[in-house]
Amino acid sequence: MATIIYFSGSGNGFFLANEVAKATGANLVSLKNAPSVIEDEEVGFVFPNYCGDIPTFVFDKLKEMNFTGIKYCYFLLDAGLSDGFAKNTMQDLLKEKGITLNYYDLLCFSSNFFTTIVNVSQKKREKLNKRATDKLPLVIENIKNRISLPIKKKNGFLDFNKKIAYFFIVKFLRGERKIATSDCIGCGLCESLCPTHNIKISDGKAVFGNDCTYCYSCCHWCPTGAVKFGRITIKGLKQYRNPNVDSKDLI
């Protein structure tokens, strides 16, 4: 048997994991609903890159999980530009659990981080997604054949840069700055999507707590674009959702 564990904010990760699952017959499991123990011969992980590494929610959740019987393990990174330190973090985390990471690949879809998508045209988004999708058949074939490839470590300077970038995110875009504008209709979609249960509907409006993992699913899936970070409202063309995914797929 085989299992694919994924985490996705705007749908890229789900699309990638689902395509691999359909082609390989693997069981698809959302990380936010994953059991504490996974017993399978083959386990794949599909996660995004946040500021040069896997999200803190992903790291913390995997730390709590246990895996047994794994003979083949792979990691597919959904990123907007580069892999940063993510593959090394995953390799080290799995090594702590006695698991060898046999195969890794990077697929660069359109980013959902709003500072990088404000000036990105729809045409460029489509081009990025097509390039990543076109790479999928080769990735799937490698997984089917259980290809093992050496994974090179990146230097510590990159890790330092990652920490600076993440500090910026936490300092200036922290969860408590995220509010629902008067456009909020209290539909509850953001509450259902949030992996950390950081959003509650109160008096017909979305209310945010202090446990945001910066997946931005609330921003990009909001039907009225009512979610705001400080002065920045992610609305209309600023919103990004993988065109092959529906919000129901992520709940």
pLDDT in tens, 72-111: 999 999 987 778 888 889 999 999 999 999 999 999 998 8
**Smallest Cα–Cα separation from 62: which of 2, 20, 7?**
7
Contact yes or no for 30/237 (Cβ under 8 A): no
Q: How confident is the model at residue 175 (pLDDT cuts 50, 70, 90)?
A: very low
Contact yes or no for 47/7 (Cβ under 8 A): yes
Which residues 6+ apart lie within 8 Å of 49 measured at CB? Answer: 77, 78, 79, 80, 82, 83, 84, 86
**pLDDT at residue 157 greater than cutoff 70:** no
Distance, CA of 221 to CA of 4 (rounded, Å): 24
Phi–psi pair at 163, nearest 5 degrees: -65, -35
Q: Out of 42-46, 92-96, 123-127, 159-163, which region has the weakest mean confidence (pLDDT)? A: 159-163
Q: How confident is the model at residue 193 (pLDDT cuts 50, 70, 90)?
A: very high
**Smallest Cα–Cα separation from 238: which of 226, 251, 247?**
226
**pLDDT at residue 156 greater than cutoff 60:** no
* Per-residue pLDDT at 111: 80
Tokens of 18: 């689902």
Task: Write down all domains in the chain, each with its CATH number in brackets.
Answer: 2-159 (3.40.50.360), 172-250 (3.30.70.20)
Which residue bears the tokens 């691999």? 20
Q: Out of 31-45, 118-132, 167-181, 191-205, which region has the weakest mean confidence (pLDDT)? A: 167-181
